[in-house]
Structure 1
Amino acid sequence: MITAAEIREVATPLPRTEEKLVRDRVTFRVGRIVYVTISADETSMGFAFPKEERAALIAAEPDKFHMPRPSDERYNWVRAWLAALDHAEMEELVVDAWRMVVPKRLHSLPGQQTT
């Protein structure tokens, strides 16, 4: 199972990222835009994801991904069960979510190629 510490190891080094605690939830953000949250019980992770692709992602793997709470459905947001993710998948989701909120010039990280 993926832990909050593992998510923190991926998110914290990303440029412009700040970690904040909001209503018992750990959030990772760039400025005022949140791109990853960890539930208070550390069983799920919310992450920025294109709204137009959300239904397909959830339909493809409903035991792994689920809709955000109703008040967040208007945003580019999806949730995942941490127990269902492996480390590589979590890392990809976190980095892709971060890329949604930063300027394109920051998309290329050291050691990675832009997509």
Structure 2
Amino acid sequence: MTGLPRHPDPADPLPWLREICRALPGVTEKVSYGSPSWFVQRMFVTYADHHHGHPHVAFWCAAPPGVQEDLVDTDPARFFRPAYVGHRGWLGVVLDGTGDDAAELDEITGIVTDAYRCVAPKRRLAELDGV
């Protein structure tokens, strides 16, 4: 992922997110509910291009317990509780921000990797960790 810019293109962040997700072991991409989504047996990230009336381009992802609440409380301009899956702890992450609200490569890579860890089988986690 070294060729990725620090911030996604606000007009088209999908290639940036796609590369982050595909760098993880065993990930496949499928269209789910009309949106590009990434799976490692189960879905862990889905792209949300103004999905369900949300004003931003974003992605929704699995999140460890308590993370959704912490991030939404800390920075509600960048993080939100997504429709349909927010009640299960999934996190919404804005990708089309600018300036201080712009997504950062390291932060998004960490969030996506945490989402992967929430659903990946042990064999894939061992591969990710180089064990």
* Shorter-normalised TM range: 0.7 to 0.9
Does residue 20 (structure 1) correspond to residue 24 (structure 2)? The answer is no
Structure 1 gap ranges (5+): none
**Code of the aligned partner of 1:38:** Y
Q: How many residues align?
A: 111
Instruction: Identify which of 69, 73, 80 aligns with 2:93.
Output: 80
CA contact (8 A) 1:51 1:77 kept: no
- Give the 3-state SS of the residue equivalent to 1:74 in structure 2: helix
Structure 2 gap ranges (5+): 1-6, 51-55
Map of 1:51-70 to 2, 5 A cutoff? 51-69=65-83
* TM-score of the superposed pair, with normalisation by structure 2: 0.72
CA contact (8 A) 2:26 2:124 kept: no
Structure 1 residue 113: deviation in Å?
A: 7.5
Structure 1 residue 23: deviation in Å?
A: 2.8
Aligned to 2:114: 96
Structure 1 segments of 4+ aligned residues over 2 angstroms from their partners: 50-53, 103-110
Cα distance in 2 for partners of 1:16, 1:113 equals 14
Aligned residues: percent identity? 24
Cα distance in 1 for partners of 2:65, 2:114 equals 14
* TM-score of the superposed pair, with normalisation by structure 1: 0.81
1:23–1:98 Cα change, 3 Å: same
**Code of the aligned partner of 1:58:** V
Cα distance in 1 for partners of 2:112, 2:86 equals 19
Structure 1 residue 79: deviation in Å?
A: 0.2
> RMSD across aligned C-alpha pairs, in angstroms?
2.3
CA contact (8 A) 2:58 2:93 kept: yes
